Structure 1
Amino acid sequence: MSELGWAVWAALALLLLYLLRVNQLLSQTPDEIRKLSGPRWTRAQLEATYKRLQDSPLDYTDKIPPKLDRRYVVTGGSAVSMPGLVGGYIVLQLLARGTPPECIRIVDIRRSERSDIGAGTAAAAVDFAQADIRSASAVTAAFARPWPAAAARLPLTVFHTAAVIEASERSPRRYAFPAAVNIDGTRHVLAAARAAGADVFSATSSGSIGLRPVGAFAAPWARAPRGFWQVLDVADFQAPLRPRDGYFANYAASKAVAERLVCGASGEAFRAGCIRPANGVYGNPTDNTVGDPLSRAILPTWTPHIVQSFVHGANVAIAHLHHEAVLARPWAESARQAGRPFVVTDPNPPIAYADVYAAIRTLSAHAFRTVEVPPVAILLLAHGLELYDELALAAGGGVLPALAGDLRHLKPPIMSICTHLVAAGDEARRPPAEGGLGYAGVLTTLEGVALEVLEWNREHAHASASAGARKKYTTSVVLAEQIQRLPVTAPQAAAPSRGETDG
């Protein structure tokens, strides 16, 4: 063999050794994270929690902040995914604490698939105004619709939860869409809220804003990839906005700008701020975090060892109600909390994705198993798919087939959002007198995941337990694709649709 041949083989051997080292680093759980995480869930623990929730439905009404005599607009309170997840729970909690349906309006692009806010529920009587928040005129029209006489003169709170979530995109070519919804949409909702006379504005932000991109291709001698474990806090809020590529994905970059818009609009007459849910958000079979695995018979995964602070949609919603309660106080008592974000998480240590998989495997009526894939294989594939996507975009439509299905979302940012993330929620838990919100989660992650599987099983109780019988939900990923294909809609001239919505 020639010297060149030996050199090539030596280089390939070194590359293989390097990739094996990267895979080893990406497959570990650092000691710092292991100490923060609780013990893994056992089968007995899962079955006992499931049976308790099945026999005694959880009622946390007494833990919801007391009713305020106000009217409400909830953007994103109907559609599926995280916006509809959080917004839907806000609507349910408002009703549970005694707010009449005629004092609540949902503004969203589509009606809900959620069974707990559908036909036959108390939420079915809530007014629904269809609007694409990318359209300023559509948002203005939705806010300007007449209110019933009993609600018209009440002060107005706006809960802005509408957004699109694309956690796998970082290309500048794909920034326009999340910017149009998350930034321009927030700007439109802020303007409409002011015009409608709102004095309290609470927006759902994202804990991923604080996340720095992970340097997965670590030096061979490194103890861990750069940013392999991070604390999700609000330290970044005290610094200037980073450039777009300083965030892990376009989603986080657009949400960071939107968060600054909301907090920057706050003042004595218009008190505004944000709730940052930790990663990942779950709470209904329509979500990505638990619902997507539930919908699959076989789940390829590289994340069983990944530890994160989860947060149930009901906990995010109750954080918004605590946020509102503080902001609705006189300025002297709410100035410290206004104009800033708060991180919230479930009231327990972070868990591992292995816990979620164990819960589905143990509790679901459907067969479920995982197939572990080496992280380095996902990393290499993700970079290859991203390069292909960039070439397809540069070449123009129709030249190269567009990525479709799961492959479209398998790009390098996934390696950042699927890393060890621990949320710092101490500030939100402090009493209002100490600058906090007095937030306390009403569901642990164990209870929340078991409850979601219980709901899944109930919705499939009359169907075969075969893989083909699984109900298909519209997740946030699918919804974002659908919205992106839609033209920006003009305001509807139809009369109020109170009682017609199933969301």
Structure 2
Amino acid sequence: AGSICIKPSRFWLWPWEKQPENFVHLVNDNTNVPQTHAGAWSNYAATKIRAERIVREADLSTGRGGVVLRTSCLRPGNGVFGPGGDVLCGAFLVRKTNPSWILDSIQSFCYVENMALAHLQLEASLLEKPELAGGDAFCITDPNPPITYGDVGTLENVLTDGVTTFPRFPPVLMLLIAHAVELYVHARLHSPVLARMLPPVTGDIVNLQPSLFSLTSAHLIFDDSRARRVFGYRPAFTTIQGLCKLVDEFKKSGGRAEFRQMLPGGGGV
């Protein structure tokens, strides 16, 4: 995941500060990945970093019969979306009403068919010229300039005839609520008495914690030029085209294309 390169932000500012630290990220294959759990923006990112390290270190390992394994990793930037129940743009369609405080955030996106194509192109490179990409990691994204979440909201609102909406919420209010959710979760975690007395946090609100703001409230711009140069990554769809296909599949299926998001723990953010 490209999000492993994101550094945590601090959104409570002193009066003389104009913007948070790490508010704008320009991410490419040379961006340093945090080396410690504390350096990652969330537990999610920390586990992704460990997973990538395991896969990359497996490159050139020898299996049964002396077969040599070649591995490589893709870092989609940032959110992967598309038909089938994604936790981002598809989740917006399922929820219909999506209160948002990130409509002005500029971010790169990665449409799922571009992601699938990148896997095939990288696999071909590992088979034909493994020395080029073996043991490496590559950022990939859609071929267009990054867009805002407001652009996503406008498109989904128009293509669903106004059914999918994005009411604008104040970021400071949402950050305060996020800290309250985090405090509640930690209170139950560290107190057996409270764990018995208080119900657990479930549903979408479990995602509303301060760490999420480092990912969603920052501007994230990904550069995939090295993937294009090394293994020939050539994305076929722009983000806008991908969103149009997402909504089209959703409407044609009567909403069933995003069925996974309707199950308990769908995980939309």
TM-score strictly above 0.5 = yes
- State the structure with more CA Rg: 1
- Structure 2 equivalent of residue 53 of structure 1: none
Does residue 1:475 correspond to 2:269, yes or no? no
Query: How far apart are the structure 1 equivalents of 2:14 and 2:172?
Result: 14
Look up the equivalent residue of 1:273 and give its one-letter code. Answer: S
1:479 positional shift: 4.7
- Aligned ranges 1:96-495 → 2 under 5 Å: 206-236=1-31, 242-267=35-60, 269-329=68-128, 333-364=129-160, 367-396=163-192, 397-418=195-216, 419-430=218-229, 436-460=230-254, 473-475=259-261, 478-479=264-265
1:341 positional shift: 0.4
SS at match of 1:208: helix
Look up the equivalent residue of 2:124 and give its one-letter code. Answer: A
- Structure 2 equivalent of residue 88 of structure 1: none
Deviations 1:102-122 (A, max 9, x none): xxxxxxxxxxxxxxxxxxxxx
Question: Could you say which structure has the greater relative contact order, defined with CA pairs below 8 angstroms and 6 or more residues apart?
Answer: 2
Query: How far apart are the structure 1 equivalents of 2:89 and 2:243?
Result: 7
Query: How far apart are the structure 2 equivalents of 1:480 and 1:242?
Result: 30
Look up the equivalent residue of 1:395 and give its one-letter code. Answer: S
Contact 2:94 2:262 survives alignment (8 Å) = no
1:208 positional shift: 0.6
Contact 1:210 1:234 survives alignment (8 Å) = no
Look up the equivalent residue of 1:473 and give its one-letter code. Answer: F
Count of residue correspondences:
257
Contact 2:5 2:27 survives alignment (8 Å) = yes
Query: How far apart are the structure 2 equivalents of 1:405 and 1:437?
Result: 40
C-alpha spacing 1:479/1:368, structure 2 compared with 1 (3 Å): closer
SS at match of 1:246: coil
1:232 positional shift: 2.4
SS at match of 1:336: helix
TM-score of the aligned structures, taking structure 1 as reference length: 0.49
Contact 2:84 2:260 survives alignment (8 Å) = no
Look up the equivalent residue of 2:184 and give its one-letter code. Answer: Y
Contact 1:309 1:350 survives alignment (8 Å) = yes
Query: How far apart are the structure 2 equivalents of 1:480 and 1:398?
Result: 25
C-alpha spacing 1:476/1:256, structure 2 compared with 1 (3 Å): farther
Deviations 1:320-345 (A, max 9, x none): 1111111102xxx3213110100000
Look up the equivalent residue of 1:417 and give its one-letter code. Answer: L
Query: How far apart are the structure 1 equivalents of 2:39 and 2:190?
Result: 23
Contact 1:209 1:253 survives alignment (8 Å) = yes
Query: How far apart are the structure 1 equivalents of 2:91 and 2:45?
Result: 21
Moved over 6 A (4+): none
TM-score of the aligned structures, taking structure 2 as reference length: 0.89
Query: How far apart are the structure 1 equivalents of 2:250 and 2:118?
Result: 25
